[in-house]
Amino acid sequence: MRIDLSTEYLGLHLRNPLVVASSPLCEDINNIRAMEEAGAGAIVLHSLFEEQIDLESQNLDFALSQGNDHSAESLNFFPDMESYNLGPDGYLEHLRQVKQAVKIPVIASLNGVTRGSWLEQARKIAEAGADALELNIYYLPIDPNLTSEEVELKHVELVAAVKEAVKIPVAVKLGPYFSAMAHMAKRLDHAGADALVLFNRFYQPDFDIENLEVRPQVFLSHPNELLLRLHWVGVLYGQIRADLAITGGVHSAEDVVKSMMAGAKVTLIASALLRNGIQHLGTLFVELRRWLEDHEYNSIKQMQGSMSHAKCAHPWAFERANYMKVLSSYLVRAPRV
């Protein structure tokens, strides 16, 4: 039986839904070639940060106006951003080289939270040949005077500004912490987002209580994190025009199948590759094909959205019933003496 693993994402035809998520692995062209050979449907390059682009402008301003204390201080807000990765010009050159090295779609990644001059880089990225752009909005609203409406509007305006700057498709990667997630997704959809990538993982620092310092912590994702993504993709499927993508918690072929059934067009994978190596893509590809064969599916598209809320006659009742069933299913065991 012929199995069609292809999918459509951001208007692009992908040979399968296994997309390499933005990570340090994507900084090396040899890695990217290996990803294509292992079976990746597309790749998302590592992120270029708003702060890196602004820093380049601030360095120029500082050189032209030495003695300006404000500009000098602003250069120290972020640790060693100049050497974090390639920088704006290096990023564009890396993108051009990657496009020449592989045939699969290449999606650039911009990480920003404000409307500013850095948005010009989005246009340059499109001109450098990116097939699409992923806007990674990593934003934590810690100001107690900032309302939820202001936070949402900040996201919506930023997406609209990026869409105005480029003609290529734009995916929006965002976190789950909105008071009305479904409504927020609808607003981003109306602002022009071509896809929503659910969800960003917010890295939370730990406390070093001996040295009284805040210590950065990076943990790879766990399959349990997939559940939140499945829930919201299943809710949003069929309710917005934008494509849906799942990132975070995808480690096995079964995770990919679940994501497709919820309604995702692709799964973005990073932690599984960082833990198991790029060759893990080949394992996922083989196991995904085998799963479809064993369960008599002809294609990925056949299963997409099959377990979403759109396929449920009474989704609200389903949510309540599932909530009560989960609570009643837990068995309290007597402690061992």
Domains of the chain from N-terminus onward? 7-312 (3.20.20.70)
Which residues are registered as beta bridge partners of 244? Answer: 196
Stretches in the chain below the pLDDT threshold 50: 57-84
Q: How high is the pLDDT of residue 75? A: 39
* Pairing outcome for strands 213-215 and 206-208: antiparallel
Q: How high is the pLDDT of residue 62? A: 38
User: What is the distance between the alpha carbons of residues 107 and 99, in angstroms, rounded to a whole number?
Assistant: 10
Q: pTM to 2 decimals?
A: 0.85
Q: How high is the pLDDT of residue 113? A: 83
CB contact at 8 A, 112 and 50? yes
Q: How high is the pLDDT of residue 327? A: 59
**What is the 3-class SS of 50-84, one letter each residue?**
HHHHHHHHHHHHHHHCCCCHHHHHHCCCCCCHHHC
User: Which residue is listed with tokens 């294609």?
Assistant: 299
